[in-house]
């Protein structure tokens, strides 16, 4: 199993190209099930989760081709893929595939909308919490589907097609907003989604669906309206840059000191994280070419942060921020309000010498003057990259084990960091 070896202490200087967003790419790929024409997605990141979803979509009958790399393309550029679901050959998403990636459950919306039937395995729990699918099923029921659960599978039927309806989410849910929006594009009549997620990835999916012929308004606000159409057509769309990857590298630069341009990063999707980084002591400049992060070595300052749905501070940057403030001069507080069990990185950060105290969903981090390199174990995607951030600033050598978690969400992380001066390498094993 691969490991990542880091020798800490080097400042980061240079340019890091930001890849297409995993959290946007997955629903965009699933949207290919809504049409029998080709959906072309540019800026698709080369990630383990993307590769797995390609397999899952292939199981349903989606043909895929990858455009060849052109002369002059940047070495770390993402790929362009073409998805064609001319015929849906299987409306069942089996447990052995859905259990490997929770987002694969989202195929239930397009399959049901296009075929009138879907049988999809329940995804079960995951390392950062149970994340039940009740809200998904209640939304599809509001669109006229009949739902039953049998032997661990959700069986959804709409033999006469889905009907427009009113969906009111009791709490903000990104996944269920994605699924409801996709399903409603082919429903008969108008659908209103209230208390919808406002994340930029929701807007990116809506933009793509509109290019495919969908009639959607309000994406990016708490009320989305979709007027159903009889069919969607093919389109070409570029996946938005990954705000979580950009925020992660921004925190790495703040941790080590240095000067890095996050090429392609969009400041409008990162307003709250960039505010927090400024409070910590980094200098942030948003330009047309990306986001520049600079810190000259001055002391890091403590902060108090609560994770919230967009436009608040994202839960997917919580672990990275915690690693950063382990070196702050003073005491920081982080409250996690989105997922339970999302403090598993605390025990591993403690191996560096971090001083962190937990009380339920609240973490108190007392900054220490020095972190020491250590062997550590990744527990989930975001936790694993927080260990990389700590290792970049720690004295001595850090070995991060179980890095397959990193490969799910970070494209060529060690290459991007080493180009900016980090001593980091992958060790195959």
Q: Is 358 annotated as a binding residue?
A: no
Q: Is 22 annotated as a binding residue?
A: yes
What is the rounded distance in angstroms from the CA atom of residue 190 to the CA atom of residue 192? Answer: 7
Contact 314, 307 (CB under 8 A): yes
Question: What's the DSSP call for residue 343?
Answer: -
Q: Measured on CA atoms in the order 375, 402, 1, 20, is the torsion positive or negative?
A: negative
288 is in an annotated binding site: no
Q: Is 23 annotated as a binding-site member? A: yes
Query: CA–CA separation, 133 vs 138, rounded Å?
Result: 9
Q: Is 131 annotated as a binding residue?
A: yes
Among the listed residues 359, 421, 356, the one whose alpha carbon sits nearest the alpha carbon of residue 383: 356
| 402 is known to lie in a ligand binding site | no
H-helix segments, 21-173: 22-30, 48-59, 95-98, 108-115, 134-142
* Token pair for 103: 């987002």
The answer to whether 180 touches 109, Cβ cutoff 8 Å, is yes
**Is 86 part of any known ligand binding site?**
no
Structural tokens at position 369: 């003057």
**Residue that the structure tokens 């959700």 belong to:** 154
Q: Any known ligand binding at 408?
A: no
Q: Is 314 annotated as a binding residue?
A: no
Note whether 144 and 165 are within 8 A (CB).
Answer: yes
Identify whether the C-beta of residue 397 lies closer than 8 Å to the C-beta of residue 9. Answer: no
Report how far residue 257's alpha carbon sits from residue 9's, in angstroms, rounded to the nearest whole number.
Answer: 9
At 322, which helix (H) or strand (E)? helix 318-325
The answer to whether the annotation marks 366 as part of a ligand binding site is no
Strands 166-168 and 215-217, sheet pairing: unpaired
Catalytically active residues are 126
Beta bridge partners of 191: 226
Angle between helix axes 318-325 and 271-280 (nearest 10 degrees) is: 10
Contact 293, 286 (CB under 8 A): no
Task: Could you list the residues known to form a binding site for UDP-N-acetyl-alpha-D-glucosamine, using ranges.
Answer: 102, 131-135, 316, 338
Task: Could you list the residues known to form a binding site for phosphoenolpyruvate, using ranges.
Answer: 22-23
Task: Could you list the residues known to form a binding site, using ranges.
Answer: 22-23, 102, 131-135, 316, 338
């Amino acid at each position: 199993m691969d490991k990542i070896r880091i020798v800490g202490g080097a400042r980061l200087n240079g340019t890091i190209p930001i890849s297409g967003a995993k959290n946007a790419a997955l629903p965009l790929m699933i949207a290919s099930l809504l049409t029998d024409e080709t959906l072309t997605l540019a800026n698709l990141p080369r990630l383990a989760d993307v590769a797995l979803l390609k397999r899952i979509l292939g199981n349903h009958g989606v043909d895929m081709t990858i455009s060849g790399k052109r002369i002059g393309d940047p070495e770390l550029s993402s790929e362009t893929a073409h998805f064609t679901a001319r015929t849906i050959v299987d409306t069942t998403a089996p447990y052995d595939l859905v259990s490997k990636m929770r987002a694969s459950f989202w195929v239930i919306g397009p399959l049901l909308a296009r075929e009138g039937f879907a049988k999809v395995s329940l995804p079960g729990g995951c390392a950062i919490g149970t994340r039940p699918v009740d809200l998904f099923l209640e939304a599809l029921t509001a669109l006229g589907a009949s739902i039953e659960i049998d032997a661990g599978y959700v069986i959804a039927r709409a033999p006469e097609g889905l009907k427009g309806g009113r969906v009111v989410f009791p709490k903000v849910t990104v996944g269920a907003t994605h699924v409801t929006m996709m399903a409603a594009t082919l429903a008969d009549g108008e659908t209103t989604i209230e208390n919808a997620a406002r994340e930029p990835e929701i807007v990116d999916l809506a933009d793509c669906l509109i290019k495919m012929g969908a009639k959607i308004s309000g994406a990016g606000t708490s009320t989305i309206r979709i007027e159903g159409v009889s069919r969607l057509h093919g389109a070409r769309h570029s996946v938005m840059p990954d705000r979580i990857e950009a925020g992660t590298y921004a925190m790495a630069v703040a941790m080590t000191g240095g000067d890095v341009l996050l090429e392609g990063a969009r400041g409008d999707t990162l307003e709250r994280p960039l505010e927090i980084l400024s409070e910590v002591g980094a200098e942030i400049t948003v330009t047309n070419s990306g986001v520049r992060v600079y810190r000259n070595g001055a002391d890091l300052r403590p902060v108090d942060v609560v994770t919230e749905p967009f436009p608040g501070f994202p839960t997917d940057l919580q672990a990275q921020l915690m690693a950063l403030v382990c070196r702050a001069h003073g005491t920081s507080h982080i409250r996690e309000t989105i997922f339970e069990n999302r403090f598993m990185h605390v025990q591993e950060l403690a191996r560096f010498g971090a001083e962190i105290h937990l009380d339920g969903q609240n973490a108190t981090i007392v900054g220490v003057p020095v972190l020491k390199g250590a062997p550590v174990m990744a527990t989930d995607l975001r936790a694993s990259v927080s260990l990389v951030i700590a290792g970049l600033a720690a004295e001595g050598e850090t070995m991060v084990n179980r890095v397959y978690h990193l490969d799910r969400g970070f494209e060529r992380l060690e290459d991007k960091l080493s180009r900016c001066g980090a001593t980091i390498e992958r060790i195959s094993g």
